Chains A and B, each alone.
Chain A
Amino acid sequence: MTIDLEQHIDANLIPILEKVHDPEIPVLSLMDMGVVRSAYLKDDVAYIKITPTYSGCPAMDVMGEDIIKAFADMNIEAKVSLVLSPAWTTDWITPKGRKALEEYGIAAPLEENADKEALLGNKKIVKCTNCGSTNTKLVSQFGSTACKALFQCEDCLEPFDYFKCLK
């Protein structure tokens, strides 16, 4: 049996990849974000393919370097490349990742239609990460990074980020 290496994440490499975090959302590992497309060892070199969240996401270059560092700490040489297709979607964030986001104060992405309603300001459905109220309003469709929108809770008044649905 042959395994298509380009679709394969070697389970032995996952603990190393879990040590690498998004520099802008430090509670999320690369695995939690679902950006790792493949990871395998060949002739003692680790080949890692990651997919960018947003085209211009400056975190991607940093993550590439951090992967190389994390592997170097284990005395493994790593080669990182970017793949654009299939394009990343917020569906690839793992349940563990979503939980970590919420605890960190970033509301996790809603599903596509709900997201649209929330971002158009039609429905109050984004949950405040501070008090849990859905009495929240959109402040800006664009937040501190390309992947987030800015909301404010009208009950506890806390401003918070919402991770936009990307599909």
Chain B
Amino acid sequence: MKNENLIQYIYGIADNALILGQRLSELCGHGPSLETDIALTNMALDLLGQTRSYYQYVARLTGDEKTEDDIAFLRIERQYKNVLLVEQPNRHFGYVITRQFFFDVFHLLLLQELQNSKDETLSAIAKKGIKEVSYHQRFSSDWMKRLGDGTEESHQKVQEAVDDLWRFTDELFHLTEDDKEAIETGIGIDVTNLKEKYNKKIKEILEEATLTIPEIKWFQKGGKQGIHSEHMGYLLADLQYMQRAYPNMVW
């Protein structure tokens, strides 16, 4: 497999962790309670830690032409390969939890497969990540149940979030050309095989939460091709500010 394909394949996984980590970081100090604030930022930290491992690997693949910081901060919007789901803004706590839940279930299934990748580094990062993401999924699933089966208002709000965010979930199972190439070489994971398990898990939790999956036929996609929603530019402006304003600054 050519390095460039492998790098693109890694972006398809790592950028989800970076962008969702960034979204959760925005909540630092703004969580609805101290405990949830701490939980969300802890999850952000896990995701950003995983991102660093992936980007450090990419940096090595470029022959150290680039650093992990270059990769995180100096790409343009089209070069980020995260799914649309993770870049959706923090509207309210129920929305944040729903976005997290939809991603966590996928993330755990993905890492459970990626640990068997022929690529030793990706396998090691996945094994490490599984332990962390299991906690994330437990947290977001618990909250889906608490909010869905909570008060009338919490139920309504979280159902609205489910209705709004469900259209972004199908993209998780799309394959890019780089994905296909990575699958052929035994490095990549065929995510199309995860869809059934994903839907089953989501359905099981949502039922317990007294929530329903909307019946929609049209799903939104584009992030994996680098074509993002209107929210991405603002997110990147925030994320990249320091490196753009003070090029090459270090901590």
Contacts and interface: CB of A to CB of B under 8 A. Distances in A.
A12 interface: no
Interface string A110-144: 00000000011000000000000000000111111
Contacts of B44: 56
A56 B52 contact: yes
Interface in B123-137: 123-125, 127-129, 131-132, 135
A55 B43 contact: no
Counting contact residues on chain A (CB < 8 A from B), the size range is 20 to 34
Contacts of B52: 55-56
B135 A141 contact: yes
Given A56-B45, A56-B47, A85 B39 contact: no
A42 interface: no
A28 interface: no
B131 A142 contact: no
A106 to B, nearest CB: 16
Contacts, number: 73
Contacts of A145: 42
Nearest to B49: A56
Contacts of A58: 45
A153 to B, nearest CB: 17
A13 interface: no
A52 interface: yes
Contacts of B38: 140, 142-144, 150
B46 interface: yes
B128 A87 contact: yes
Interface of A: 52, 54-58, 84-87, 119-120, 139-146, 150, 164, 166-167
Interface of B: 35-36, 38-39, 42-50, 52-53, 120-121, 123-125, 127-129, 131-132, 135, 138-139, 142
24 contacts: A52-B49, A54-B45, A54-B49, A55-B46, A55-B50, A55-B52, A55-B125, A56-B44, A56-B49, A56-B50, A56-B52, A57-B45, A57-B49, A58-B45, A84-B53, A84-B125, A85-B124, A87-B124, A120-B138, A139-B35, A140-B38, A141-B39, A142-B135, A146-B45
